[in-house]
Structure 1
Amino acid sequence: MKLNAGIITTKLVESKEFYTKILNFGVTFENDFYLLLYTPNKKAEISFLLPNHPTQQPIFQKEYQRQGLYLTIEVEDVDEVYKDIIRKGIEIKIDIRDEPWGDRHFAIEDPNGVGVDIVTYSPQ
Protein backbone atom coordinates (compact mmCIF):
# COMPACT_ATOMS: atom_id res chain seq x y z
CA MET A 1 0.00 0.00 0.00
CA LYS A 2 1.19 3.50 -0.80
CA LEU A 3 -0.28 6.78 0.47
CA ASN A 4 -0.49 9.97 -1.61
CA ALA A 5 -1.90 12.94 0.30
CA GLY A 6 -3.71 15.52 -1.81
CA ILE A 7 -4.56 19.18 -1.27
CA ILE A 8 -7.29 20.92 -3.26
CA THR A 9 -6.01 24.43 -3.91
CA THR A 10 -5.80 27.26 -6.42
CA LYS A 11 -2.08 27.57 -5.57
CA LEU A 12 -0.61 24.96 -7.92
CA VAL A 13 2.24 27.23 -9.08
CA GLU A 14 3.11 28.36 -5.56
CA SER A 15 2.94 24.79 -4.24
CA LYS A 16 5.24 23.52 -6.98
CA GLU A 17 7.73 26.31 -6.30
CA PHE A 18 7.70 25.69 -2.54
CA TYR A 19 8.01 21.91 -2.59
CA THR A 20 10.56 21.72 -5.43
CA LYS A 21 12.75 24.71 -4.57
CA ILE A 22 12.54 24.66 -0.77
CA LEU A 23 12.12 20.95 0.03
CA ASN A 24 13.76 19.44 -3.09
CA PHE A 25 10.74 17.42 -4.25
CA GLY A 26 10.54 16.32 -7.88
CA VAL A 27 7.67 16.45 -10.35
CA THR A 28 6.02 13.12 -11.15
CA PHE A 29 3.24 14.59 -13.29
CA GLU A 30 1.51 17.90 -13.95
CA ASN A 31 -1.14 19.36 -16.17
CA ASP A 32 -3.31 22.48 -15.99
CA PHE A 33 -5.37 21.27 -13.00
CA TYR A 34 -3.25 18.64 -11.22
CA LEU A 35 0.28 18.44 -9.82
CA LEU A 36 1.92 15.30 -8.40
CA LEU A 37 5.26 15.66 -6.60
CA TYR A 38 7.59 13.07 -5.08
CA THR A 39 9.88 13.29 -2.06
CA PRO A 40 13.64 13.38 -2.64
CA ASN A 41 13.95 9.69 -1.74
CA LYS A 42 11.00 8.86 -4.04
CA LYS A 43 9.19 6.97 -1.28
CA ALA A 44 6.14 9.26 -0.99
CA GLU A 45 4.14 11.70 -3.04
CA ILE A 46 1.86 14.67 -2.52
CA SER A 47 -0.66 16.03 -5.00
CA PHE A 48 -2.40 19.33 -5.61
CA LEU A 49 -5.69 19.69 -7.46
CA LEU A 50 -7.58 22.79 -8.60
CA PRO A 51 -10.94 23.19 -6.84
CA ASN A 52 -14.21 22.90 -8.76
CA HIS A 53 -12.56 21.30 -11.76
CA PRO A 54 -15.20 19.85 -14.14
CA THR A 55 -13.32 16.56 -14.53
CA GLN A 56 -13.57 15.82 -10.81
CA GLN A 57 -16.43 14.42 -8.75
CA PRO A 58 -17.96 16.65 -6.02
CA ILE A 59 -15.95 15.00 -3.23
CA PHE A 60 -12.76 16.31 -4.88
CA GLN A 61 -13.95 19.86 -5.62
CA LYS A 62 -14.01 21.76 -2.32
CA GLU A 63 -10.95 23.90 -1.68
CA TYR A 64 -8.82 23.29 1.41
CA GLN A 65 -9.69 25.90 4.08
CA ARG A 66 -6.22 26.45 5.62
CA GLN A 67 -6.84 24.55 8.85
CA GLY A 68 -6.78 21.08 10.30
CA LEU A 69 -3.92 19.59 8.28
CA TYR A 70 -0.18 19.15 8.79
CA LEU A 71 2.57 17.16 7.14
CA THR A 72 5.59 15.56 8.79
CA ILE A 73 8.76 15.07 6.80
CA GLU A 74 11.33 12.81 8.41
CA VAL A 75 14.95 13.63 7.52
CA GLU A 76 18.30 12.17 8.52
CA ASP A 77 19.81 15.46 9.74
CA VAL A 78 17.23 18.03 10.80
CA ASP A 79 19.95 20.56 11.70
CA GLU A 80 21.30 20.59 8.13
CA VAL A 81 17.80 20.96 6.68
CA TYR A 82 17.10 23.77 9.16
CA LYS A 83 20.24 25.65 8.05
CA ASP A 84 19.25 25.19 4.41
CA ILE A 85 15.71 26.50 5.05
CA ILE A 86 17.14 29.54 6.87
CA ARG A 87 19.53 30.19 3.94
CA LYS A 88 16.55 30.09 1.58
CA GLY A 89 14.81 32.79 3.64
CA ILE A 90 11.77 30.75 4.65
CA GLU A 91 9.94 31.86 7.78
CA ILE A 92 10.30 29.40 10.65
CA LYS A 93 6.99 28.85 12.46
CA ILE A 94 8.42 26.64 15.24
CA ASP A 95 12.11 27.06 15.91
CA ILE A 96 14.33 24.00 16.03
CA ARG A 97 14.00 22.17 19.32
CA ASP A 98 14.34 18.88 21.15
CA GLU A 99 11.16 17.36 22.54
CA PRO A 100 11.01 15.33 25.78
CA TRP A 101 9.94 12.25 23.79
CA GLY A 102 13.10 12.39 21.68
CA ASP A 103 12.20 14.20 18.45
CA ARG A 104 14.29 17.07 17.16
CA HIS A 105 12.27 19.22 14.79
CA PHE A 106 11.16 22.59 13.45
CA ALA A 107 8.16 23.71 11.40
CA ILE A 108 7.44 25.88 8.40
CA GLU A 109 4.24 26.61 6.47
CA ASP A 110 3.51 25.88 2.83
CA PRO A 111 1.68 28.35 0.52
CA ASN A 112 -1.64 26.66 1.33
CA GLY A 113 -1.30 27.23 5.08
CA VAL A 114 -0.29 23.62 5.77
CA GLY A 115 2.11 23.23 8.67
CA VAL A 116 5.17 21.23 7.63
CA ASP A 117 6.98 19.61 10.57
CA ILE A 118 10.53 18.59 9.67
CA VAL A 119 11.89 16.03 12.13
CA THR A 120 14.66 13.65 12.96
CA TYR A 121 13.45 10.93 15.29
CA SER A 122 15.83 9.92 18.04
CA PRO A 123 16.19 6.24 18.86
CA GLN A 124 14.53 5.43 22.16
Structure 2
Amino acid sequence: MELKDLYSLVVVEDPRHVRDWYVRHLGFTVAFEADWFVYLVSGGTGRRFGIAFMREGLDQQLPQFRQRFAGDSLILSVEVEDARMALDSVRATGLEPAVELRDEPWGQRHFLLRDPAGVWVDIIQPIEPDPAFFGAEVAAQLQEAVEDSHG
Protein backbone atom coordinates (compact mmCIF):
# COMPACT_ATOMS: atom_id res chain seq x y z
CA MET A 1 0.00 0.00 0.00
CA GLU A 2 1.35 3.40 -0.96
CA LEU A 3 -0.01 6.26 1.15
CA LYS A 4 -0.88 9.50 -0.60
CA ASP A 5 -2.26 11.45 2.36
CA LEU A 6 -3.23 10.99 5.99
CA TYR A 7 -5.60 13.23 7.93
CA SER A 8 -8.10 13.09 10.75
CA LEU A 9 -11.80 13.60 10.09
CA VAL A 10 -13.75 15.07 12.99
CA VAL A 11 -17.56 15.15 13.00
CA VAL A 12 -18.69 18.57 14.25
CA GLU A 13 -21.80 20.70 14.56
CA ASP A 14 -20.59 23.41 12.16
CA PRO A 15 -17.58 22.70 9.91
CA ARG A 16 -17.34 26.33 8.79
CA HIS A 17 -17.07 27.62 12.35
CA VAL A 18 -14.22 25.18 13.04
CA ARG A 19 -12.67 26.05 9.65
CA ASP A 20 -12.56 29.72 10.59
CA TRP A 21 -10.80 28.94 13.88
CA TYR A 22 -8.03 26.89 12.19
CA VAL A 23 -7.58 29.47 9.44
CA ARG A 24 -7.44 32.43 11.81
CA HIS A 25 -5.38 31.02 14.65
CA LEU A 26 -3.17 28.36 13.04
CA GLY A 27 -2.80 29.56 9.45
CA PHE A 28 -4.51 26.61 7.74
CA THR A 29 -6.01 27.09 4.28
CA VAL A 30 -9.07 25.54 2.69
CA ALA A 31 -8.21 22.80 0.18
CA PHE A 32 -11.79 21.63 -0.38
CA GLU A 33 -15.13 22.75 0.97
CA ALA A 34 -18.80 21.86 0.67
CA ASP A 35 -21.64 22.88 2.96
CA TRP A 36 -21.19 19.63 4.94
CA PHE A 37 -17.41 19.07 4.73
CA VAL A 38 -14.20 21.09 4.98
CA TYR A 39 -10.67 19.83 4.28
CA LEU A 40 -7.90 22.11 5.54
CA VAL A 41 -4.16 22.01 4.92
CA SER A 42 -1.37 23.60 6.90
CA GLY A 43 0.22 26.77 5.60
CA GLY A 44 3.84 27.29 4.72
CA THR A 45 6.11 26.13 1.97
CA GLY A 46 7.16 22.74 3.35
CA ARG A 47 5.28 19.49 3.64
CA ARG A 48 1.56 20.12 4.07
CA PHE A 49 -0.61 18.43 6.65
CA GLY A 50 -4.37 18.13 6.61
CA ILE A 51 -7.41 17.85 8.83
CA ALA A 52 -11.05 17.54 7.84
CA PHE A 53 -14.35 18.39 9.50
CA MET A 54 -17.72 16.93 8.59
CA ARG A 55 -21.15 18.11 9.71
CA GLU A 56 -23.06 15.86 12.07
CA GLY A 57 -26.35 14.19 11.22
CA LEU A 58 -25.67 13.24 7.59
CA ASP A 59 -28.03 10.47 6.47
CA GLN A 60 -25.54 9.21 3.87
CA GLN A 61 -22.99 8.41 6.61
CA LEU A 62 -22.82 5.20 8.60
CA PRO A 63 -24.83 5.58 11.83
CA GLN A 64 -21.71 5.65 14.02
CA PHE A 65 -20.42 8.70 12.11
CA ARG A 66 -23.55 10.84 12.42
CA GLN A 67 -22.95 12.24 15.89
CA ARG A 68 -20.47 15.03 16.50
CA PHE A 69 -17.34 14.56 18.54
CA ALA A 70 -18.25 14.98 22.20
CA GLY A 71 -15.27 13.49 23.98
CA ASP A 72 -12.30 14.84 25.79
CA SER A 73 -9.54 12.55 24.61
CA LEU A 74 -8.81 13.61 21.04
CA ILE A 75 -5.48 15.41 20.81
CA LEU A 76 -4.18 16.87 17.55
CA SER A 77 -0.40 17.20 17.92
CA VAL A 78 1.17 19.93 15.81
CA GLU A 79 4.97 19.94 15.83
CA VAL A 80 6.63 23.30 15.29
CA GLU A 81 10.22 24.51 15.18
CA ASP A 82 9.79 26.96 18.07
CA ALA A 83 6.86 26.66 20.50
CA ARG A 84 7.46 30.11 22.04
CA MET A 85 7.25 31.76 18.63
CA ALA A 86 4.14 29.72 17.81
CA LEU A 87 2.53 30.88 21.05
CA ASP A 88 3.33 34.51 20.22
CA SER A 89 1.78 33.99 16.79
CA VAL A 90 -1.38 32.46 18.28
CA ARG A 91 -1.67 35.25 20.85
CA ALA A 92 -1.35 37.83 18.05
CA THR A 93 -4.64 36.45 16.69
CA GLY A 94 -6.35 37.14 20.01
CA LEU A 95 -6.38 33.56 21.30
CA GLU A 96 -5.01 32.50 24.67
CA PRO A 97 -3.89 28.91 25.32
CA ALA A 98 -5.97 26.57 27.46
CA VAL A 99 -2.70 25.26 28.93
CA GLU A 100 0.27 27.63 29.11
CA LEU A 101 3.67 26.95 27.56
CA ARG A 102 5.60 24.42 29.59
CA ASP A 103 8.55 22.07 29.35
CA GLU A 104 7.91 18.39 30.06
CA PRO A 105 10.55 15.99 31.38
CA TRP A 106 9.85 13.52 28.55
CA GLY A 107 11.31 15.99 26.04
CA GLN A 108 8.58 18.34 24.92
CA ARG A 109 7.97 22.08 25.13
CA HIS A 110 4.31 22.72 24.40
CA PHE A 111 1.08 24.57 24.97
CA LEU A 112 -2.49 23.48 24.34
CA LEU A 113 -5.45 25.08 22.65
CA ARG A 114 -9.04 23.88 22.49
CA ASP A 115 -10.77 24.22 19.11
CA PRO A 116 -14.50 25.03 18.81
CA ALA A 117 -15.33 21.31 18.44
CA GLY A 118 -13.58 20.46 21.72
CA VAL A 119 -10.47 18.93 20.14
CA TRP A 120 -7.27 19.55 22.07
CA VAL A 121 -4.60 21.07 19.82
CA ASP A 122 -1.16 20.42 21.31
CA ILE A 123 1.50 22.69 19.80
CA ILE A 124 4.77 20.88 20.48
CA GLN A 125 8.50 21.39 20.08
CA PRO A 126 10.78 18.43 20.80
CA ILE A 127 13.46 19.31 23.37
CA GLU A 128 16.08 17.28 25.19
CA PRO A 129 14.42 14.96 27.71
CA ASP A 130 15.41 14.81 31.35
CA PRO A 131 17.54 11.64 31.61
CA ALA A 132 16.10 10.98 35.07
CA PHE A 133 12.58 10.74 33.67
CA PHE A 134 13.19 7.74 31.39
CA GLY A 135 16.63 6.54 32.35
CA ALA A 136 19.75 7.14 30.30
CA GLU A 137 19.11 4.51 27.59
CA VAL A 138 15.62 5.71 26.67
CA ALA A 139 16.68 9.37 26.93
CA ALA A 140 19.50 8.70 24.44
CA GLN A 141 17.02 7.09 22.02
CA LEU A 142 14.68 10.06 22.33
CA GLN A 143 17.51 12.53 21.79
CA GLU A 144 18.53 10.62 18.67
CA ALA A 145 14.95 10.79 17.39
CA VAL A 146 14.85 14.56 18.02
CA GLU A 147 18.12 15.03 16.11
CA ASP A 148 16.86 12.84 13.23
CA SER A 149 13.67 14.88 12.96
CA HIS A 150 15.71 18.05 12.47
CA GLY A 151 17.55 16.63 9.55
TM-score, normalised relative to structure 1: 0.91
> What is the alpha-carbon distance in structure 1 between the residues aligned to residue 23 and residue 69 of structure 2?
21
Cα deviation code 1:16-59 (max 9, x no counterpart) = 11111110011110001011011124532111111111232223
What's 1:34 paired with? 37
Q: 2:91 is matched by which residue type in structure 1?
A: I
Q: 1:53 is matched by which residue type in structure 2?
A: L
How many residues align? The count is: 124
> What is the alpha-carbon distance in structure 2 between the residues aligned to residue 31 and residue 90 of structure 1?
27
Question: Do the aligned residues in 2 keep the contact of 1:66 with 1:112 (CA within 8 Å)?
Answer: no
* Structure 2 alignment gaps of length 5 or more: 129-142, 144-151
Residue 65 of structure 2 is aligned with which of 42, 60, 65?
60
1:19 is paired with a residue of what secondary structure?
helix
What's 1:103 paired with? 108
* Structure 1 alignment gaps of length 5 or more: none
Q: Which has the higher contact order (CA 8 A, sep 6+)?
A: 1
Map 1:11-30 to 2 at 5 A: 11-30=14-33
Question: Do the aligned residues in 2 keep the contact of 1:11 with 1:111 (CA within 8 Å)?
Answer: no
Question: Do the aligned residues in 1 keep the contact of 2:24 with 2:93 (CA within 8 Å)?
Answer: no
- Assess, with a 3 A threshold, how the Cα gap between structure 1 residues 89 and 112 changes in structure 2: closer, same or farther: same
CA RMSD of aligned residues (A): 1.5
Q: 2:95 is matched by which residue type in structure 1?
A: I
Does the alignment pair 1:48 with 2:53?
A: yes
- Pairwise CA distance, 1:60: 2.1
Question: Do the aligned residues in 2 keep the contact of 1:103 with 1:119 (CA within 8 Å)?
Answer: yes
Structure 1 runs, 4 residues or longer, greater than 3 Å off: none
Does the alignment pair 1:88 with 2:93?
A: yes
What's 1:122 paired with? 127
TM-score, normalised relative to structure 2: 0.76
Structure number with the higher helix fraction is 2
